[in-house]
Structure 1
Amino acid sequence: TIYGASDGTDNKKPRVEEAPPSRVLHIRKLPSEASETEVIALGLPFGKVTNILTLKGKNQAFLEMGTEEAAITMVNYYATVNPHVRNVPVFIQYSNHKELKTDAGNQRTQAVLQAVSAVQSSGSSSSDVQEALAAVSSPVLRIIIDNMFYPVTLDALQQIFSKFGTVMKIITFTKNNQFQALLQFSDPVNAQHAKLALDGQNIYNSCCTLRIDFSKLVNLNVKYNNDKSRDYTRPELPAGDGQPSLDPAVAAAFSKESNSLLGKIPGALNPLSAAAAAAAAAGRVALAGQAGSNGVLLVSNLNEEVRVYGDVQRVKILYNKKDSALIQMSDANQAQLAMSHLNGQKMYGKIIRVTLSKHQTVALPRDGLDDQGLTKDYANSPLHRFKKPGSKNFQNIFPPSATLHLSNIPQDVTEDDLRLLFSDTGGTVKAFKFFQDRKMALIQMSTVEEAIQALIDLHNYNVGKKQHLRVSFSKSTI
């Protein structure tokens, strides 16, 4: 028995003028909220599904099976077991069409079919196919950053992924010593396209590789809007206890430059057109292109720890606001690095605020003009850590922490000498550990703020025999 009749009535009695067997099936009486995924699921147990056309206004759909035999098996089965979608009985019959010629512009449908086809081609079980359908229906992506040479901020992820659709929520976290994120689009098809285009691509040249999969979650619960999590649909959310939030000036700067921030960073992912995204998915386009640079930071509540994250070229303390300055780094990568790690850190009892400046360079005072020493040029400074291309210093860039890494220690300098030296910066040394060769060590202060102060005071400190101590933040603990 074939349910329904070709004239669209609900008469369940077989009619003489029924359509002959065809691999295209006509499905009627679908609930208005039924998705393509649920319609495809009706045909999955019987063979490969090759196409689908939904008629939302009529609560109908056409489902094309891979073979006529699969369609016959499906119809015969549902003649004895009433098919349901969302607990609503539906009616299935052969269509007068022998194949579906649909517009490939139905992106959601194509995304679902691609996922199902890939799993079915691998010989996977029906449960695997169902899982693939569930995954491709999720608007949430799980993102892992491999080879994270430079830090990747929540804002950077938002700008990269928003090229494929509206990003609604992001949660970032560290798991198994890897930076990860959950990112929710407004539509599952946007998540599918972003995964196809970006999985395996580098955010920056030769580093920060995106590993992307679908999350089993279909909705993210974001409680706070800060540098770790963000719900773009609820700007009123609090920052949360102990979490730095963007002050109004910084937030305004981000909103003005949000569409071009990554575009100003050499090696950053460029905005992708639809054609470029399709080519990237096919592996033909390198996403890490070159762009213009802006290596100037606006820093409020100034200190010199920016040297840890790059080579400072020039500094200009603002004449009418002495606790703020423009700092020019050697390139925009370093400016982004310093901003990512230093914005929101505490120093001298104040919160440091760092954002990108609209200025491309810091101008030196005109000849003969005395600016009271507020502008200085460090281009020829011997303290540049990252001047040498490929320097191993690039591999040891970490956010501010209470534990400092010391190197270039003379053999005759003892643990007591170093403990005393670091105590004199005003902090408390909690732990100390020499490396085996005694040329390097870890020293732990009681707070991150104390460690920042010690680094400022003692990096390049002359410890004797023309040897200067090298100090940087460590990811290790003692």
Structure 2
Amino acid sequence: MIYGLEPTRMNCDRLFNLLCLYGNIEKIKFLKSKPGAAMIQMADAAAVDRAVTHLNTAQLFDKKLNLAVSKQPEIMAGVAYELEDGTNSFKDFHGCRNNRFSSPEQAAKNRILPPSSVLHFYNAPPDFTEDSFNQICDEFELEKPTSFRLFSGKSERSVSGLTEWASKTLATEALAVLNHYQMKSTGISLLLMLYLRHCWT
């Protein structure tokens, strides 16, 4: 269970963007009877424990999150409704390619960290710049990072780097909104998905 979600800014995909750093997500359901509350079904109990440990009391869109283990062992879809942004209140993520713990090799690449002011981005187009990132932040009414650094990558298909915000809260908001954001590279018929994750500060 997660409480304290800002109803105008959060939906199933954005909640997935935040929680997928701690384990595979199977289903997410917002509760109509409790605005700002949602149930998340993860692939295993360890993933739930990691999410609760690292995100409980985190600040997000002027709200304090409250995470706890649910008494229900499974989410039943039930009757879905429309969230404030027009998206569905229920979504099934089972088998989603954006889940990051689908194999032991894939799981080993993940660093389990609490929210920080620094985000690592990767899989961005080769022509990606600080201005590109700032434009995306403007598009979603997010605060811009205070610093931006590109790594000297070996790949011609994508680039990676670090961004830092003035606070953990602002970085976590960017993570929830921009993780898995799809971008098209200039002059390349390739659709890339921007991946984000927390880094040590």
Fold shared, TM-score > 0.5 on shorter chain: yes
1:300 aligns with 2:7: no
Q: Indicate whether 1:371 and 2:86 are aligned.
A: no
Alignment of 1:110-189 (within 5 A): none
1:415 is the counterpart of 2:130: yes
- Alpha-carbon displacement from aligned partner over 1:227-283 (angstroms, at most 9, x marks no partner): xxxxxxxxxxxxxxxxxxxxxxxxxxxxxxxxxxxxxxxxxxxxxxxxxxxxxxxxx
Separation in structure 1 between the aligned mates of residue 191 and residue 67 of structure 2, nearest angstrom: 35
Q: C-alpha deviations, 1:169-205, integer Å up to 9, x for none?
A: xxxxxxxxxxxxxxxxxxxxxxxxxxxxxxxxxxxxx
Alignment correspondent of 2:40: 327
Q: Which residue of 1 aligns with 2:161?
A: 441
Percent identical among aligned pairs is 26
Letter in 1 for 2:102: K
Once superposed, what is the RMSD of the aligned Cα atoms? 1.9
Change in CA separation of 1:325 and 1:439 when aligned onto 2, cut-off 3 Å: same
Q: Which of residues 34, 53, 71 is equivalent to 1:340?
A: 53
Q: How many residues align?
A: 175
The DSSP-based 3-state class of the residue aligned with 2:41 is strand
1:432 Cα shift? 1.2
Displacement after TM superposition at 1:457 (Å): 1.6
Runs of 4+ displaced beyond 4 Å: none
1: distance between equivalents of 2:51 and 2:183?
28
Task: List gaps (5 residues or longer) in structure 2.
Answer: 82-87, 185-189
Deviation string for 1:363-415 (max 9, x for gaps)? 222xxxx3324332111323212212221664322111111000012212223
SS in 1 for 2:71: coil
SS state of the match for residue 171, structure 2? helix
Conserved in 1, the CA contact under 8 Å of 2:128 and 2:159?
no
Larger RCO (CA within 8 A; separation ≥ 6): 2
Among residues 449, 454, 467, which one is paired with 2:192 in the alignment? Answer: 467
Q: Report SS of the residue matched to 1:310.
A: coil
Q: Is the 8 A contact 1:427 1:446 kept in 2?
A: no
Q: Which amino acid aligns with 2:100?
A: R
> What is the distance in 1 between the residues matched to 2:120 and 2:145?
13
Which structure dedicates a bigger proportion of its chain to helix? 1
Tell whether 2:148 aligns with 1:427.
no
2:29 to 308, 316, 319: 316
Gaps of 5+ in 1: 1-297
TM-score normalized with structure 1 length: 0.35
Report the structure number with the largest CA radius of gyration. 1
- Within 1, Cα distance between the matches of 2:4 and 2:192? 31
Structure 2 length-normalised TM: 0.79
Match of 1:386 in 2: 101
Matched, 1:403 2:112: no
